[in-house]
Every structure is written in C-alpha cells, then in structure tokens.
C-alpha cells in the first residue's frame, strides 16, 4: 500500500547536486518480508534523467 503511494511522487533535494534538485520516485524496491519497512527506492532526476 505504501509503495503505491510513493511511486511517482516528487521530491526536492536538501543539498542539491548541480542540475539535480528535483526527483521523481521511479521504482520502489520491496523488502523480502512484506512486514519489513521499505528501505530502497530508485529516484530519477527531472532535469538530467539520471537514476539513483
């Protein structure tokens, strides 16, 4: 349920790297156990399209 809410949300970096300030959550990486919290997501920079 939380993974669906995170997907495609917009985020702004507190300490931006040049030209990488705004990001979209592109993928939520699910933990092995469904009861474990989500610890990893892939974010994509809006300007450069770089994925982290």
What the block records as the tokens of 25 is: 């959550």
> Looking at the domain assignment, is residue 37 inside a domain?
yes
> Looking at the domain assignment, is residue 34 inside a domain?
yes
pLDDT of residue 21: 94
Q: How many CB atoms lie within 10 A of CB 24?
A: 15
Residue 17 domain boundaries: 2-45
Q: pTM of the predicted model, to two decimals? A: 0.79
> Looking at the domain assignment, is residue 52 inside a domain?
no
Over residues 6-43, the pLDDT tens digits come to 999 999 999 988 889 999 999 999 989 988 999 999 99
> Looking at the domain assignment, is residue 50 inside a domain?
no
Asked if 23 and 40 touch (Cβ cutoff 8 Å), the reply is no
> Looking at the domain assignment, is residue 7 inside a domain?
yes
> Looking at the domain assignment, is residue 51 inside a domain?
no
> Looking at the domain assignment, is residue 19 inside a domain?
yes
Domains identified in the chain, total number = 1
């Amino acid at each position: 349920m939380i993974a669906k809410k995170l997907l495609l949300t917009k985020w702004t970096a507190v300490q931006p790297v040049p030209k990488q300030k705004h990001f979209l959550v592109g993928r939520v990486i699910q933990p092995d156990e469904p009861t474990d919290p989500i610890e990893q997501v892939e974010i994509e920079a809006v300007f450069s399209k770089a994925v982290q």
